[in-house]
Amino acid sequence: MTARPDQVARGPAVWMLAVGQTLAYACLYYIFAALILSWQEDLGWERTLLATGPTIAIVISASLAPLMGRLVDLGRGPEIMLVGAALGAVALSLLAMATTPAAYLTAWALIGLAQSASLYETCFAFLIRRLGSAARPAIVRVTLVAGFASTLAFPAGAALSAWIGWRGAVWVAAAIMGPVMVPLIWRATHIIRREGADPQDRAAEQGAWGRAIRSRRFWMLASIMALVALNHWMLVNFAVPIFVDRGAAEPMAVLAASTVGPAQVLGRLVLMRFESRIGTARATQITFLGMALGTLALWAAGLTPELIFLFTAVQGAAVGVVTILRPILISEVMGPAGYGAIAGTIQIPALLAGALAPLLGALVLDGPGVPGLLVLSVLFIGASLGLAARLLRQG
């Protein structure tokens, strides 16, 4: 007997996908922030060169996002996610062997291909396509677990690099992406594909994408997500060096950085508990104001280093809420038809902003330093809040 979509959304397959997303983000995304100090010490390369690696990866991921979304709309989500995991293992293996800037950047280019096929947007598009309105609780479950990716990546990266070197740490990540991730994703997507629905109205999905890109609301939403991504990744990619600059010892800085993940989970739990009372508009306002509070706390940490934990708490919680709001807003504002292609297109500015963030952060840190980075953060948050207020008023 075929299970109902709401049963599938609460079943083991979704939890398996959640574990898969946690491992994928830890291995493919947070690995840069977790190992940057080890790379600087061992390779002796400029910070901007190191930051160019994830920048290339995210540019490639952004460029391919609409294509990956369209393939999911055509029913190829499981195959895309499996290829992404396998390619991630290959890319990380090349990164572990890199001894020249060219090899390092080539590995990151392949990591970008893996990111485009295996991270949140592809996963969310697959869940929305197969589970329809029941995708929301599934997305919440995935993000609740995957919020621990940074908690896993930062201490694991520090411990492994101290034990077997940064190359050994990257080899461990490659082993996780291959022998662990591939069978996990295969089993989870097989169950969801078998039990979930299979929309067949291809013409409606195609038309939905065309209508969406002509909508002003579409571009406002894309701009908001881009500013949020730019602010968040500009700070998080250099969290440990920023915390050390604020006066924290390196062990404290690593510990603080590892709390971003649990804070994301806490933010999502709070949203689940109070969303019906505060509504989307109020939740968005609170989220962005929380980001501003976090930046101010980071500024004040120059006097009291312990305030870096306040920053990670509110920044992590805010981004955790945004992760849930983003796919839900896209689906509700633009409609579920053609979600994969629409969300992939909306994500291009956000992913490009994420790609620019490490390079921009490195340039600002090498110039005005941490104070300049914090001023820029406040400006990004203010612009996000203003655009969100206009978008929600129009709704």
**How many CA within 13 A on the CB side of residue 213?**
15
CB 280 within 8 A of CB 333: no
Q: How many CB atoms lie within 10 A of CB 220?
A: 17
Q: Which residue intervals of 202-338 are DSSP H helices?
A: 202-213, 216-236, 239-245, 250-257, 260-300, 308-334
**Assigned CATH for 5-394:** 1.20.1250.20
CB 318 within 8 A of CB 271: no
Distance of alpha carbon 114 from alpha carbon 82, whole angstroms:
10
Tokens of 280: 């989307």
Q: Whole-model pTM?
A: 0.77
Q: How many CB atoms lie within 10 A of CB 63?
A: 15
Q: Residue 368, SS3?
A: coil
> Token match 């909306």: residue?
346
Tokens of 243: 């915390």
Per-residue pLDDT of the chain (395 residues; tens, 9 = 90+): 456 777 777 778 899 999 999 999 999 988 888 888 888 888 888 888 888 898 899 889 888 988 898 898 888 889 999 999 999 999 999 999 999 999 999 999 999 999 999 998 899 889 988 887 777 778 888 888 887 887 788 888 889 988 999 999 999 999 999 999 999 999 999 988 887 666 655 555 667 777 778 888 888 888 988 999 899 888 888 888 889 888 888 889 888 888 887 887 888 888 777 755 666 667 777 888 888 888 898 888 888 888 989 999 988 888 888 887 788 777 777 777 777 888 888 888 887 787 788 788 888 888 888 888 989 998 999 898 888 888 777 65
Q: Which among 162, 20, 35 has a CA at the least distance from the CA of 104?
A: 35
